[in-house]
Structure formats: C-alpha cells, structure tokens
Structure 1
C-alpha cells in the first residue's frame, strides 16, 4: 500500500493542527492528531446531507442555503447539482487553510464549484453567520467538527447547545430545515433538538455511497408546526423519533 504524504498543516483555534495528507495521486485525507476527519473516497454521507435537506424543502424560487464547514466540498457539490440557477449558497468556514486547500491541492475534487455564481464563501464562524441572518435560510446544513460531540474546537459546542439550536431555528424561513451531520448517533442531541422546538427525523447513511462500511448519522430537524416538519423524506433508513 502506498504511504501517506503530508502536503500541508494548519493550526486550529484552541490548539491542535489539521493536516492535509495525500496517498497516490488522487486520495486525500484531512486529519487531526490520529483522527481522520474526512477522506476523499468517503463522501456518501456528506452528499446525503445536502440531498436529504433539499428533498425535504422541495424546489422553491430563490432558495438560500447555509453550509457550515467547507471540508472537501462534497456537500457543496451535491447542493449545486440539486439546486436551480436562482439559488444562493453561503458557505461558512472558520479555518483559512481549508479554503486555501480547496483552491490548491484539492482543486480537482472541487471541480470549480467555488467559482459557481450561486456560491459565496465566508471565512467566518458559522455561529456568527447564523446569528446575522434571522429568517434568511431555507436550509442550514452543518458538517462542523465530528458532529454534536465535538472533537476539533471546543467552541463548536455552541452550535449544538440550546442557545445554538435556538439561533438556528430563528435563522430558518417558515418551511426551513436544519440538517446536521455526525459520525454517529447521539440521543442527547436528539432530545435537545426536540426541546428546542424541532420535529426530528434521524437518517443513517453510509460513508461510502452504495457500499458497505461505516455508517454516519444525519438529523433532519424542522420547526414544529411548519409544513416541512410533517413531510418525512423518502428512502430507507427513516426512523421517526
């Protein structure tokens, strides 16, 4: 098996170092310590984060989505593939190096999607972006850290606590949905979503689309009482809670 080569490293707020690794010509990995945060061959659940949320809200004029966490761009590319020309996608990424990697070593994976006129990338904490835009977004897609059980930046917990969920709810339009990616299930987070006034659906999805291997969790949460909350998504793996 070919060895991994380190291409770059970047400090993260609060301590720790992200590393961009490459194996062979086309496999990339972003790691924190001994933990692999993402791999270019494991994109199924990141793509599902976008497709499930967009399926839930449906096609509407002038859709506006917020993606928290740029990563390797799989959620962004899936959203662009599903959205019409008049849509808007705001991507909030806290770590400057991740944005630089997207335009540098990872450019073949991003395939020019950062230059799509529907996309704007902000070097900012997604918590700040959420609180700036009450009632702005049709969907908020969060793929930040390792999910609600944070691994990278302690401050990321602000996204997933009661105050953070309240801010996300306020930032959604009346039919909106909050979609959250996680490496695994978290019953406490499901309960917090309910307590924050969301109708919650859990989806278990494969890390590698159409194959075996690791399973990840996606929460689809819609403010109770709106039409979106009453319309479960299609497909296997639905578990109403």
Structure 2
C-alpha cells in the first residue's frame, strides 16, 4: 500500500489538526465539523495529484485555452455518521463525483473491550472501472474500513482505490496495509502511536461522531 502521511510536512493542516484535538476548541461542534471538512479538502488536493489527466481545450470569451483536467470517474463513499463532514470536504473538490454512503458501527456483545463491525445501510452506484475514494475520519483498528470495502464488492471492481482518514493509529494503518491491495493509496492527516483497551486512538481526539453531531444513544 502507498501511505501518504500529510502531517510529515509542515503546513496549515497542522492548525486544523490542533483544533480538532484541543480539548476546549473541539467542544465547538460547528468549528469541529468545519475543521474536518477543511482537512478533507487538503487531503483531496494532495490526492488529486495522482489522478489521470488529459489535455482539453476550453473556450474563453477571447480565445481557446488548453488545460489538463482529470478524467477519472470518481465515487466518494463515506461511513456514517462521523464521515459526513469529511465527505463534504471531499465533495467540495470533487463536486461532479458520484456518492455512496454506508453505516458501519462497533457492536459490543458482552465484553466492552471486544467488538464486531456491523454494516446495516448501504447506498452505492456502480463501481466497475471507477476510482473509489473511501473515507472514514478515524482509522483505529482498520476493521470498519475493511468491512466497508468488503460490503462494496458486489457493486463492481474499482480501477483505483484511495482511502482517506483524518487520524489513524499505527495498528490500524498496519492492518489495512496487510488487507488491501498493494496499489491502494492511503491519504491521512496524522498517524498516532497506539490504541487503548477499548480500541480508541491515543492521543487521538475522542469520538468524532459525538463531537460533530452530539452524543448518541447506545443500543
């Protein structure tokens, strides 16, 4: 797998990362959502450099102009609910893309420190020969990302697969590195050291879905 850790280079991205992590700033849910969205825009820009481009001629009011434009058929797929602000950031840049949405959540049977990934809802266009961008803001264990990708397989085989995350744990990055095709690209804003006993990223930022949309009722 091709792993692109964007925080390895200093940029304005660090400002948005610091604010979604900061225990006081992250309490502003509107600012939290907007920062996730802005991180999605930065990751989209970096990812766009690897797309396929072709020369096109456009007509301006004064003369023709030649420019290279990407010609990939893109499908954006986000994991609900935490993935919505990240999806918006991607869609701001790939505004002609098709869209897919899937629900995937942790189900704790008996032990609060063990869980399985449950997929309940899926809406997806045909993926055959297209460029799939699979987005999940928090890459903890990597199991949600893999379960989502497996659920998408009946919709066709993408030409290329790009995974987009805001923050990941090294364990999760290693997991998807071992389970996805070697030509898959991971675009991530930061990779943290470890997971705690409950599978949350440390230092991470907490629960991205709760911070964006409020605490959820537990089943």
TM-score by length of 1: 0.39
Report which structure shows greater RCO (CA 8 Å, sep ≥6). 2
Bigger Rg, structure 1 or 2: 2
TM-score under structure 2 normalisation? 0.42
